[in-house]
Amino acid sequence: MPDTRPYVLSIAGFDPSGGAGILADIKAFEQHGVYGFGVCSALTVQSDTDFLKVQWLSAQEIMEQLEPLVSKFKIRACKIGIGQSMDVLLEVILYLKRRQPHIQIVLDPVLKASAGFNFHGALEDQQLKAVLQEITLATPNYNEIQQLNPDLPPTNAAKEMAKRCAILLKGGHNPEAPGTDYLFTQNSCTPFEPTLLSVSPKHGSGCVLSASIAANLALGYTLDEACRRGKRYTESFLSSNDTLLGYHQHDS
């Protein structure tokens, strides 16, 4: 029997605890009924609570892993997590789009692990703009958007960035409306309010959200609906148990 599941790709770090990065993304993909490919952008040494080390892979090494996949399969959507620099991400994204012109790309701009490890120092503004120009959606939280765009308040920064691609500003760290995410496009702003009063923090929750959105895009949902579904999936993950390592369940 042929496999009719859409192909979705994760380009992300390898986290041996399985909470974040490729392993988290693949678990989420499986729950959405899409087939997940995983390409490694970094090896990390960590548990759910302690981040010890990152070893980056070069753009060349990432593209080498991609080549056999993009030459054989039509990949509908891709989620991108940590990368060594915006330069590396840009090179990989341009290559990917050359090989798969219709691919939809969701970038989770992870700058710092919740365990405290800083992945990046200063980011090059020009490269960031060039990356945004090439993708469908970026999913920064309030801290990330401030680091990416230090001269503007978060909402204005999101509007500015949304001139290049859609921006889902995640509400986890928003002091004014905690938990509400906002989807900014060139001419709209859609709020996604939380449906649960309390959830339990999880390692890798941003990975799960961006993977779920990518899977939903691959399934044919609009960006708006993919974000709404992604939020619901992530809430279910966040409330799955009381530890930092939740389990994946699809109840919608």
Minimum distance of ligand PLP from residue 22's CB (angstroms): 7
b/e per residue 170-195 (b: at least 16 CB within 10 A): bbbebeeeebbbbbbbeeeeeebebe
Closest approach, Cβ 72 to ligand PLP, in A, equals 26
CB-nearer residue toward ligand PLP: 162 or 205: 205
For residue 52, the tally of other CB atoms under 10 A from its CB is: 10
CB of 85 to ligand PLP, least distance (A): 15
Q: Tell me how far, at minimum, the Cβ of 239 lies from ligand PLP, in Å.
A: 16
Rounded CA separation 211/190 (Å): 20
- Calpha distance 6→248 (Å, rounded): 19
Least distance to ligand PLP, CB of residue 31, Å: 18
Nearer to ligand PLP, 46 or 149 (CB): 46
Q: Which is nearer to ligand PLP, 85 or 185 (CB)?
A: 85
What is the C-alpha to C-alpha distance for residues 40 and 188, in angstroms, rounded to an integer?
Answer: 34
Contacts of residue 13, Cβ cutoff 8 Å, sequence gap at least 6: 20, 21, 22, 40, 41, 42, 43, 44, 54, 81, 82
DSSP 8-state assignment for residue 35:
E
Rounded to a whole number of angstroms, the minimum distance from the CB of residue 163 to ligand PLP is: 27
Q: Which of 10, 11, 8, 14 is CA-nearest to residue 33? A: 8
116 or 175: CB nearest ligand PLP: 116
C-beta closer to ligand PLP: residue 25 or 91: 25
Interacting residues with ligand PLP (CB under 6 A): 12-13, 15, 20-21, 44, 46, 51, 81-82, 110, 113-115, 203-207
Closer to ligand PLP by CB, 20 or 238: give it: 20
Residue nearest to ligand PLP (CB): 13
